[in-house]
Amino acid sequence: MNPSRRCLIGPELELQGSQNRNIAWRRFSPRSLCIVSVIAGLWCLFGSLNGVCGQNVENVRLLPMGGMRGTEVSIELPGKYEKWPVGFWGEPAQIQWIATEVPGKITAKIPMDAELGVHYLRIHSPESVSPLMRFVVGDIPEVTEVEPNDGFEKPQVVTPLPMCINGVLQKSGDVDHYQVRLMAGEILQATLDASRSLASPMDGCLELVDQRGNVLAQNLDTLGLDPRLVFGARVEGIYSLRVYAFPEAPDSTIGYAGGDKYQYRLRCSVRSANDASANPAATDDLVAGFSQGAQWIAEPSGREMPSSLTSTAGPLVAVHGVFETSRDEDVLLWQTSEPGFWKVTAKALSLGSPVDPVIEVLDAEGKSLAKQGESGEVIDPSLSGQMKQPGIYRIAVRDLHGGFGPEHRYRLEIVQEYPVVRGTVGNDVLVGKPDKAIEIEVTLERTHGCDGEATVRMVGLPANYVCEPVVSKMKEESEKKVTLKVVAVQAGEQGVWSGPVGVEIQTTGRDLSEKVIATGTKQSWMWLRIAP
């Protein structure tokens, strides 16, 4: 027992600090002491069991954190599970989740046509619900980290390539090593997915070392906080990839960071130099981030002769290009036919390009209306509201440092926005009791000067509970914040319930509603649990 903790057992016994223990125990006969000891033991036992039940799925994590299309993945949920089996909720609802007969073991059946990338999952039981977790679907074989692999002299052997390794930096100072064999002329490509895809609180680092421990290549922040390393082997040999991390939010810690949440996926592939030169796009794992759903910006594309789009259909228009010469600037012609609000965003660093993009919006005469990115501090600079009136505009993009070459690429996204009311909630898991109103506070934001009314409502409730919509009005208390109240339909019909819910906002005059997001997950999928 912690001496500073106060523990009361019965009306006469009080232990508070080691200096009082002998005095307190002398008040009891041996029989009384025995009884008290039994009571104390039971109290501690039940307290520990309650702790286990309480963390049943509330602190759950997946290991591994992803799988390959068309496979069945066996997943371990570290911890003890007194209540089994558990239920599942997923988005998109493509993966079949199965609880095995062994507590803490589940299976994910991933179809061949499953979407690549992040899938969201909640595990729930009658007593609790997990946080919104991420599971990544890939298209190469996968394995799970095997400890010990802390030194370059005893790494985990990874073969054959390509391969994706699911790992965890389990404690402070943890460094994981993975051994690969490269032939002369082969190019190793290794990408660490942690911060971006798994929301791990880590700033990862990748190093390649030889058998003597010499560092041959290193990378830290190619993809936001996630590193990506490309290495060409001059001689045949055995090499080790080294993974370690610092905290996502810098603190006073000296040394490498780790913990249960420091999960990562290390994707490794190898190709010959001939393959890379013959078809660069086929061996480039970053190209999809720039080109997906985007048009190639055609040359010439200068201020005097801007490039035109072949199609502007859809809610999102995107173009991608490359800076081919020093101080190159690409200019896109953009024409609007009716009043509106257009947001222009340039993406480069976040997609793995060394470009520091600077974007500028100009009118038909070439007069600058707005510029963003010259400070070099904004990763994905954007401009919004400069093209309100119908007419011809020019959108210019360049690299702040004048870099050029095939790797100096960018993606421009143009999306039309509307004056609407948007909202956020503090937590994505909402908890309440059946005999009391469950209050949910929604913080509101009015975009582009929206001054109309907006109706906030909850969706997904069971039949025996109701939540009356609330109207937000300008210049009233409801302008920036409203409170939803979930109550039972009839006092005698309350019951325990747990399930997915959502909150939507319908702005007057708009056909589509806005989904309210949770500040922690940045997603709209929430969960309501009603229990005594």
The CATH-assigned architecture of domain 288-417 is Sandwich (2.60)
- The pLDDT score that the predictor gives to residue 45 is 41
What is the 3-state secondary structure of 338-403? CCCEEEEEEECHHHCCCCCEEEEEECCCCCEEEEECCCCCCCCCEEECCCCCCEEEEEEEEECCCC
Rounded to an integer, what distance in angstroms lies between the CA atom of residue 219 and that of residue 225? 10
Question: What is the location of CATH 2.60.40.1590 in the chain?
Answer: 66-138
**Going by CATH, does the domain composed of 421-530 fall within 2.60.40.10?**
yes
Q: Name the β-bridge partners of 202.
A: 247
Q: Could you write out the DSSP letters of every residue in 491-519?
A: GGG---EEEEEEEEEEETT-SSPEEPEET
Fold exhibited by the domain 142-283:
Jelly Rolls (2.60.120)
Of 237, 255, 238, 239, the C-alpha closest to 247 is 255
pLDDT at 82: 80
Q: Which pLDDT score, from 0 to 100, does residue 11 have?
A: 31
pLDDT at 252: 76
CB contact at 8 A, 185 and 270: no
> What are the mean pLDDT values of the chain's consecutive 10-residue runs (532 residues total)?
34 32 37 43 40 60 96 92 90 96 95 96 91 96 93 88 96 94 94 94 95 91 90 94 92 85 95 62 73 88 85 81 92 88 92 93 93 90 90 94 92 93 96 91 95 96 94 96 92 76 96 95 94 83
The span from the CA of 348 to the CA of 96, in Å, is 35
Specify the pLDDT at position 38.
Answer: 41
Domain with CATH 2.60.120.380 in the chain: 142-283, 288-417
Which DSSP string do the residues of 284-334 spell out, in sequence order?
A: -TTHHHHHTT-EEPPSP-SSSS-EE-S---SSEEEEEEE--STT-EEEEEE
Domain 66-138: assigned CATH number: 2.60.40.1590
What are the helix and strand counts (H, E) for the chain? 5, 40
- Tell me how far CA of residue 500 lies from CA of 86, 109, 236, 461, in angstroms: 15, 22, 54, 8
